[in-house]
Amino acid sequence: GQQVMQIPQYQHVQEGEDFTTYCNSSTTLSNIQWYKQRPGGHPVFLIQLVKSGEVKKQKRLTFQFGEAKKNSSLHITATQTTDVGTYFCAGGPSVYSTLTFGKGTMLLVSP
Residues near other proteins (CB under 8 A) are 1, 30-31, 33, 41-45, 48, 50, 86, 88, 90, 92, 95, 98-104, 106
**Identity of the residue, 50 or 77, whose beta carbon is nearer to other proteins in the bound complex:** 50
Question: Read out DSSP for 6-54?
Answer: EE-SEEEEETT--EEEEEEESS--SEEEEEEE-TTS--EEEEEE-STT-
Q: How far is the CB of 102 from other proteins (least distance, A)?
A: 7
Q: How far is the CB of 75 from other proteins (least distance, A)?
A: 20
